[in-house]
């Protein structure tokens, strides 16, 4: 059951789950999947996924290569490494640049894919190169070609591309100072996201102020704007999202953009809450919230 591989604890079965640690075997597995006509998809740590009750009718692939290696003031990591392991390694090595990303769960590969970030910094600031399989060959591209934007990259547009590793350009730093910054952030994050909370972090992306209709911009109090973005939580709060409950699925009463599974929640209930919240914001503000979470095994919106 894929519910065992998602932090939400939700999701039906896959026909096959393959965990592979080397590039050659991974490419062979993709080839076999394609030649057999089977559907395939790739997951990392499952911390940003909503998997349908029906699960995934095909092959689910996970790359487990997790080497992390310092190269001067750069650091190279394989996609299957935990992002936290990369953060901890860079801190221990006295390399500055990703310490604010402490506590973001999941893998390095998915962090590049979704340009993960927190506390004012995201992966795109540090990625120098990405090595990936494009469905035919393995190649390496530089930062500009990754087309990073807020929680976006070229890899999100090209579902047939698979990230194997990345090289990050870092700066020299002082390990104790970096550790202190990371530990402070980690403690704050724990109060928002308890370690056993079945969730995916923020469900919806924040919105760029400049891209909002003028009448909506005028309604946003200046104090909620952060780095040119309006938290989607602001709009969700205005439509009464906090504390909503649908079966085993709840919206946190302290954070309108945080949906969690109380234990026995289902994919159907989760989709209903997401659709309800989107409809409320659409009706009140004329805005379309966009999910940050990624869906697996849904067709025609059915759960
Ligand atoms: C409590 C909590 C807090 C969070 N806080 C933050 C936060 O502060 N900032 C933030 O940005 N995110 C946050 N997230 C979201 C999540 O941690 C990130 O999206 C993370 O990068 C997902 O990693 P994963 O390995 O679990 O990916 P998955 O959830 O398994 O997959 C996510 C997507 O990545 C794709 N993918 C995975 N690996 C690869 C690869 N090697 N190549 C190509 N595509 C790949 C998958 O196909 C899928 O579409 C939070 C999540 C939780 C549960």
Look at residue 31 and tell me whether its pLDDT is greater than 60: yes
Q: What is the pLDDT of residue 299?
A: 79
Band (159; pLDDT cuts 50, 70, 90): confident
State the catalytic residues: 151, 202, 292
| pLDDT score, position 195 | 92
Give tens-digit pLDDT for 162-186.
Answer: 999 999 999 999 999 999 999 999 9
207: phi > 0 → left, psi -120 to 50 → alpha, else beta; which? beta
Query: Is the pLDDT reported for residue 109 higher than 90?
Result: yes
pLDDT band of 202, cuts 50, 70, 90: very high
Q: Name which residue sits closest to atom 20 of ligand 1, judged by CA.
A: 106
Q: Cβ < 6 Å from ligand 1: which residues?
A: 7, 42-49, 63, 79, 104-107, 109-111, 113-114, 116-118, 155, 162-163, 193, 199-201, 294
Confidence bin at 300 (pLDDT 50/70/90): low
Determine whether 74 is exposed, middle or buried from the number of CB atoms within 10 Å of its CB (0-12, 13-18, 19+). middle
Please report the pLDDT score of residue 176 as a whole number: 97
pTM of structure: 0.95
Asked if residue 231 has pLDDT above 60, the reply is: yes
Name the residue of 201, 206, 295, 298 to mutate for ligand 1: max ligand atoms within 8 A of Cβ: 201
Q: Please give the pLDDT value at position 227.
A: 87
Helix (H) / strand (E) element for 95: namely: strand 95-96
Kindly tell me if the per-residue pLDDT of 108 is higher than 60.
yes
Residue 78 makes CB contacts below 8 A (sequence gap 6+) with: 63, 65, 66, 67, 68, 108, 109, 164, 165
Confidence grade of residue 48 (pLDDT, cut at 50, 70, 90): very high
Closest-CA residue, ligand 1 atom 3, reads 201
Q: What is the mean pLDDT of residues 262-272?
A: 95
Distances, alpha carbon 145 to alpha carbons 113, 127, 130, 141, 247, in Å: 13, 11, 9, 6, 44
Pairing of strands 49-51, 39-42: unpaired
Tokens read off for 39: 């559907």
- Read off the pLDDT of each residue in 104-130 and give the average, rounded to a whole number: 97
Asked whether residue 301 carries a pLDDT value surpassing 70, the answer given is: no
Q: Which residues contact 27 (CB under 8 A, 6 or more apart)?
A: 133, 138
**Share of residues in the chain with pLDDT > 90 (%):** 95
pLDDT in tens, 11-22: 999 999 999 999
Among 215, 250, 220, 253, which residue's Cα sits nearest to residue 234?
Answer: 220
- Confidence grade of residue 303 (pLDDT, cut at 50, 70, 90): low
- Distance (Å, whole) CA 14 – CA 12: 7
Two tokens, residue 7: 């932090």
* Measured distance CA(87)–CA(83) in Å, rounded: 6
Whose Cα sits closest to atom 23 in ligand 1? 106
């Amino acid at each position: 059951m894929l519910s065992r591989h998602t932090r939400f604890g939700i999701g039906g079965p896959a026909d096959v789950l393959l965990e592979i640690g080397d590039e050659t075997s991974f490419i062979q597995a993709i080839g076999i999947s394609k030649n057999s006509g089977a559907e395939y998809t790739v997951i990392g740590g499952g911390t940003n996924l909503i998997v349908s009750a029906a699960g995934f009718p095909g092959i689910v692939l996970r790359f487990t290569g997790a080497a992390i290696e310092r190269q001067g003031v750069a650091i190279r990591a394989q996609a299957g490494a935990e992002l936290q392991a990369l953060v901890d390694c860079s801190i221990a090595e006295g390399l500055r640049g990703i310490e604010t990303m402490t506590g973001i769960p999941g893998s390095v590969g998915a962090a590049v894919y979704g340009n993960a970030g927190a506390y004012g910094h995201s992966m795109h600031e540090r990625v120098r190169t990405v090595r990936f399989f494009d469905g035919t060959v393995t190649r390496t591209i530089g930062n500009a070609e990754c087309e990073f934007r807020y929680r976006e990259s070229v890899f999100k547009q090209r579902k047939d591309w698979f990230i194997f590793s990345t090289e990050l350009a870092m700066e020299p730093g002082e390990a104790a100072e970096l550790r202190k910054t990371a530990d402070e952030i980690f403690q704050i994050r724990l109060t928002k996201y308890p370690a056993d909370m079945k969730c995916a972090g923020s469900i919806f992306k924040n919105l760029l102020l400049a891209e909002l209709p003028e009448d909506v911009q005028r309604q946003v109090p200046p104090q909620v704007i952060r780095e040119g973005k309006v938290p989607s939580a602001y709009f969700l709060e205005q439509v009464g999202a906090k504390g909503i409950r649908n079966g085993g699925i709840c919206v946190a009463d302290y954070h309108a953009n945080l949906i969690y599974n109380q234990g026995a929640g289902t994919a159907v209930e989760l989709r209903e809450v997401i659709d309800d919240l989107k409809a409320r914001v659409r009706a009140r503000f004329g805005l379309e919230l966009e999910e940050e979470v990624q869906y697996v095994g849904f067709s025609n919106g059915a759960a």
